[in-house]
Amino acid sequence: MTQLWRYRLLISGYAVSSYGTFLNLVALNLFVYETTGSALAMGIFMAVRLAAGFVAGLAAGSLLARVAVKPLMFWTNVAQAVVMLLLVLAPEKLGTAVLFTVSAVVGACSTLFMVALRSSIPDLVGTERRSWANSLMVGGRSLAMVAGFASAGVVVPLLGFTAAFLTDAASFLLCAVTVLWLPAAMARRTQQAPAAAAARQTADATDAAPGRRRLPAALMSLAAAPMLGLMVGLRGIDALGSSSHNAALPVYSSALDPGDPASFVSRFWLFWAIGNVLAQQVIQRYVTRSGRSVGAFGFGLGTVAMSSAFILGFAGFPMAATIVIAVAAGAADGLTEVSYTSHLQTLPEALRGHAFGISATVENLGFGVGTLLVAAALTVASPFAVVAWSHGLAIAVAVVYLIRLAGRRSTETERDGKEADAGQPHGGHRDGAEVSGG
């Protein structure tokens, strides 16, 4: 079996497990509310999940430096399947304790799996195919999200919570099986890449100076590529924006159609997913024909377009216009995901896991803080105002990012021109995503 077919098989398993995850986002929240009878308990349940993901993101880089990718991806899926079965089999008197155990395990393991998957893609398919591979991953997850949310309205009322939890457990086990098909080399911890080892030695020498503390590896990873720190920060702000439209959609939909509040939400996410999948098709064809990856500018421009579309989605336009807006939001969301992930994958292998780990931590923090702020804001402001404020912040930071990126590209172009005039070799055109020690 070739590397590409192994990757396709893995993404198929990931898409199936993502379906189970999105199905359970609905089922578990309903189950928590039904079991405890408390909206506060439901909020704490989500907070535990986000907190576990936050901590796992901090630890992911160090863990990947000590544990091979293949066993980590396998056991994180098995652990999630086990806790879902535990939720079905546990005595009723242990229900609350088991619920929060499930929340913590799923939050931590899903973060660890995603960090391991994203950081290992260049090793699985080659650096030249990473944009194609990221696009395939994002497209599969988008389809799984729509299927999971849509089927939750059928599975839970007709088949019950037990069927939903067993479906989720089976999806994780299937994903674990696809991990077993990964190359045997990924079951062994790889050596540090030369560039990463050199960077680490430089940091160690610098931090050995009197009065200075050793620079954490996660922060080293942010300093290893130009603009990466600002890029990760923008990703966190983007997550805050995402929390606003996720929380505001049910409120906005209820105001539009009190008799059937789920209709607008389901239609919006359906056309969002269509736009996302269409974007992945375009990206895959672009990468195949041009041989180039999606550039760092794509991340900034995609963030501006996505946030603008989500703001317009709450502006009260007719349904036909809102459908177009939802498609645009999904397409831009797909572009930002692929370009962002591809950018971080340019880091040396030993720093890649740390970068994806701290990114996951920042994203969980942004989404968690955003959820709290948005919940409070929706009690005093309209959904449109809340979404416009949070996504407007993302647009402002994205504009700063684009201006700085354009300035850096201009400087590098001028420097390359001077080197060419002097007869010195240079790297040619850059898109801002290359690793640089300067």
SS (H, E, C) 60-128: HHHHHHHCCHHHHHHHHHHHHHHHHHHHHHCCHHHHHHHHHHHHHHHHHHHHHHHHHHHHHHHHHHCHH
Question: What pLDDT shows up at residue 256?
Answer: 82
Residue 435 located in a structural domain: no
Q: Which residue has the higher pLDDT, 17 or 350?
A: 17
- Report the 10 Å Cβ neighbour count for 68: 18
Query: Are both 184 and 244 inside the same structural domain?
Result: no
**Is the CA virtual torsion 427, 429, 432, 438 positive or negative?**
positive
Residue 238 has pLDDT above 70, yes or no: yes
Within a domain: residue 144? yes
Could you tell me if 165 and 268 lie in one domain? no
User: What is the mean pLDDT of the segment spanning 114-128?
Assistant: 88
Q: How many CA atoms lie within 13 A of 71 on its CB side?
A: 9
Same domain, 222 and 183: no
Tell me what pLDDT residue 40 has: 66
Give whole-number Cα distances, 401 to 44, 229, 351, 405, 432, in Å: 34, 10, 22, 6, 11
- Nearest CA among 145, 140, 186, 167 for reference residue 9: 140
Q: How many domains does the chain have?
A: 2
Contact 267, 323 (CB under 8 A): yes
Lowest mean pLDDT among 31-40, 240-249, 305-314, 410-419: 410-419
Q: What is the pLDDT of residue 218?
A: 55
Q: Which of 20, 32, 26 is nearest to 100 (CA)?
A: 32
Same domain, 165 and 283: no
164: Cβ contacts below 8 Å, ≥ 6 apart: 23, 24, 27, 152, 155, 156
- In this structure, are 251 and 163 located in the same domain? no
Least confident of 86-95, 163-172, 192-201, 392-401: 192-201
Which of 76-90, 135-149, 239-253, 400-414 is modeled with the greatest confidence?
A: 76-90
Q: Which residue has the tokens 């591809």?
A: 342
Mark whether 181 and 240 lie in a shared domain: no
For residue 215, pLDDT over 50 is answered with no
Q: What is the mean pLDDT of the chain?
A: 81
Residue bearing tokens 């640089």: 436
* Residue 209 forms part of a structural domain: no
**Does residue 420 surpass a pLDDT of 80?**
no
- Is residue 431 included in any domain, yes or no? no
Check whether 389 has a pLDDT greater than 60: yes
Q: Answer yes or no: do 395 and 328 share one domain.
A: yes
**Residues 34 and 148 both lie in one domain:** yes
Is residue 247 included in any domain, yes or no?
yes
- 259 found inside a domain: yes
Q: Are residues 237 and 383 in the same domain?
A: yes
- The answer to whether 45 and 29 are in contact (CB under 8 A) is yes
Give 417's pLDDT tier (boundaries 50, 70, 90).
Answer: low
- 272 or 265: which carries more pLDDT confidence? 272
- Other CB atoms within 10 Å distance of the CB of residue 410: 10
- 127 within a domain of the structure (yes/no): yes
Distance CA 153, CA 143 (A): 16
- Does residue 284 lie within any of the structural domains? yes
Q: Are residues 331 and 279 in the same domain?
A: yes
- CA–CA distance, 435 with 437 (Å, rounded to integer): 7
For residue 252, give its domain range: 216-420
Instruction: State mean pLDDT over 70-74.
Output: 93
Q: Check: CB of residue 46 under 8 Å from CB of residue 197.
A: no
Helix (H) or strand (E) holding 179: helix 161-179
Q: Are residues 180 and 244 in the same domain?
A: no
**The tokens of 424 are what?**
């010195």
How much is the pLDDT for 423? 52
The domain that contains 344 carries what CATH number? Answer: 1.20.1250.20
Shared domain check, 174 and 94: yes
